[in-house]
């Protein structure tokens, strides 16, 4: 039994605490329904898990001739229809198709917002916890209170609440329309529209022959004339330069003629320098002896 002061948990925590997909989906539900924490989501999931488990067991006993299983299945479907979670004449297969949002949408907090008694789900939670919301003549201060089908039309402000005044600033305006919180159903698109349309290639616009613009050819003619004038000027400048500059053959002849003169002028001073530097050759010894002999002979003749 346990201690009455510390009651057992009414919910089951997830098996793995760090799953990215689960955390992301839970955060989205908290923003959508204005919940305090993830514990409220886990409570809705445990309630839904009980409904599904009971429906799964009853589906296994349908083939057998057991009156108790039929009675229990009827009781389950009546309970869900009374809570307005499922419509009347639904089956056990519909119970297995339920989601957590189908249970979160039956909370007092969401229905006060959908009724237009608050501007946002967070404000609806505040009004409930401060004691401004009542079901009939009974004040309810639990935002997670599950509303039945009969109680849904009796939700309103308490008699003592100042929000009964239409000019109260915290009260929603008359033009206010609450947005549906439930799961948004995307409009079904046929298969033909889902396919991406082919990009149409832009073709150049065809102009009829009779209605051709006259300005376009004029511009082209002017451009051609300017180009021709530039080409003529370039040709004239080239011809003038060619007249001034001698041809390649003439340049070669001139250089060939000028080269030998320069060489001769360079050779003359070189010869003079060589002559200055080289001394006169002395007579050979043979010639000296001949001269000596001649001088002796002359001396002898004179002596005789």
Q: Where are the domains of the chain?
A: 1-100, 107-179
Q: Which residues contact 207 (CB under 8 A, 6 or more apart)?
A: 213
Q: What is the pLDDT of residues 207-222, one digit of tens each?
A: 555 554 545 444 466 6
User: Does the global pTM surpass 0.85?
Assistant: no
- pLDDT exceeds 90 at position 101: yes
Give 241 or 116, the one with higher predicted confidence: 116
Q: What are the strands, taking DSSP E only, across 86-243?
A: 133-135, 138-139, 155-157
Q: Judging by beta carbons within 10 Å of its beta carbon (0-12, 13-18, 19+), is residue 129 exposed, middle or buried?
A: middle
Q: What is the pLDDT of residues 224-249, one digit of tens each?
A: 777 788 888 888 887 777 766 555 45
Fold exhibited by the domain 107-179: 3.10.290
Tokens of 39: 């514990």
- pLDDT exceeds 50 at position 90: yes
Look at residue 3 in the predicted model and tell me its pLDDT: 76
Confidence bin at 268 (pLDDT 50/70/90): low
Least-confidence region, from 38-42, 59-63, 161-165: 59-63
Look at residue 284 in the predicted model and tell me its pLDDT: 47
Q: What is the pLDDT of residues 119-150, one digit of tens each?
A: 999 999 999 999 999 999 999 999 999 999 99
The mean pLDDT of 43-50, rounded to a whole number, is: 96
Alpha-carbon distance 232 to 20, whole Å? Answer: 78
Look at residue 203 in the predicted model and tell me its pLDDT: 56
The mean pLDDT of 274-303, rounded to a whole number, is: 59
The mean pLDDT of 94-123, rounded to a whole number, is: 95
Confidence bin at 117 (pLDDT 50/70/90): very high
């Amino acid at each position: 039994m346990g201690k009455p002061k510390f009651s057992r948990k009414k919910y089951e925590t997830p098996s793995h605490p760090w799953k990215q997909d689960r955390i992301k989906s839970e955060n989205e539900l908290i923003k959508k329904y204005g919940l305090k924490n993830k514990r409220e989501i886990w409570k809705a999931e445990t309630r839904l898990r009980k409904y599904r488990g009971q429906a799964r067991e009853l589906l296994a006993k349908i083939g057998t001739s057991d009156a108790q299983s039929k009675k229990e299945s009827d009781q389950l479907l009546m309970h869900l229809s009374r809570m307005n979670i499922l419509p009347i004449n639904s089956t056990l297969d519909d119970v297995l198709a339920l989601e957590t949002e189908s249970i979160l949408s039956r909370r007092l907090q969401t229905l006060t917002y959908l009724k237009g008694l608050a501007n946002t789900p967070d404000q609806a939670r505040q009004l409930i916890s401060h004691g401004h919301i009542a079901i009939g003549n009974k004040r309810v201060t639990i935002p997670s209170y599950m509303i039945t089908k009969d109680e849904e039309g009796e939700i309103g402000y308490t008699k003592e609440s100042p929000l009964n005044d239409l000019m109260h600033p915290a009260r929603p305006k008359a033009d206010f329309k609450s947005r549906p919180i439930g799961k948004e159903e995307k409009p079904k698109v046929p298969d033909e529209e889902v396919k991406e349309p082919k990009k149409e290639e832009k073709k150049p616009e065809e102009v009829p022959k009779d209605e051709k613009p006259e300005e376009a050819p004029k511009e082209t003619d002017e451009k051609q004339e300017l180009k021709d004038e530039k080409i003529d000027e370039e040709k004239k400048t080239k011809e003038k330069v060619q007249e001034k500059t001698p041809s390649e053959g003439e340049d070669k002849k001139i250089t060939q003629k000028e080269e030998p003169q320069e060489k001769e002028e360079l050779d003359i001073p070189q010869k003079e320098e060589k002559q200055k530097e080289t001394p006169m050759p002395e007579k050979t010894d043979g010639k000296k002896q001949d001269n000596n002999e001649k001088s002796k002979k002359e001396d002898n003749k004179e002596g005789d």
